[in-house]
Amino acid sequence: MFDVMIIDTGVGIADSVIHFNLAADEIVIVTSPEPHAMTDAYAMIKILCENHGRKQLKLLVNMTQTQREALKVFEIIAEVARRFLKIEIGFAGYVPFDPQVQKSVAKRQAASADSTFTIAGQAWAGVMRSVYEGKGRPGTDKRDCKDVWRELVWSNEARAVLG
């Protein structure tokens, strides 16, 4: 039914966030240039790598002022992951800061209504195209959304039973 499904797990490292990430074929960690966001992104990378063996991770930098800033953020996190986790993370791209997104947040409205006409919306569309192009097309052996949900439910039930 879906070729690509994106789940914004929000900030933090709750069990549900870990489960959603583990169910994914491809994990893209999203961060921003803020130091606390970069620390959180690295913490998620570390947990997924060390505790769950996931080593194929990508980083997307959101709300950057320039491409140079995005690459600098990526390089910092990638270098720490290389040095301490012995993994190479990929660069999934960046989404520039967009005042329209802030306006939508202030109004408590989804920014998606006019997103294809905004700076951030166009950048997200580009990221999605690049993710989609790297994936199988309908009818391939990729898991579908039912498989993902089944895994999530099973892993939560198994944790409850096994304690």
What's the pLDDT score for residue 160?
A: 47
What's the pLDDT score for residue 36?
A: 93
How high is the mean pLDDT of the chain? 77
Q: Which residues of the chain have pLDDT under 70?
A: 1-11, 105, 109-117, 131-163
The boundaries of the domain holding residue 20 are 15-162
Report yes or no on 3 lying in a domain: no
Report yes or no on 140 lying in a domain: yes
Report yes or no on 8 lying in a domain: no
| Letter string b/e over residues 124-143, b meaning 16 or more CB atoms within 10 A of that residue's CB | beebeeebeeeeeeeeeeee
| Domain containing residue 137: CATH number | 3.40.50.300
Task: Tell me the pLDDT tens digit for each residue of 109-145.
Answer: 666 555 666 777 777 777 777 766 655 443 444 555 5
What's the pLDDT score for residue 138?
A: 39
Report yes or no on 122 lying in a domain: yes
Q: Count how many domains the chain has.
A: 1
Report yes or no on 26 lying in a domain: yes
Report yes or no on 81 lying in a domain: yes
What's the pLDDT score for residue 161?
A: 43
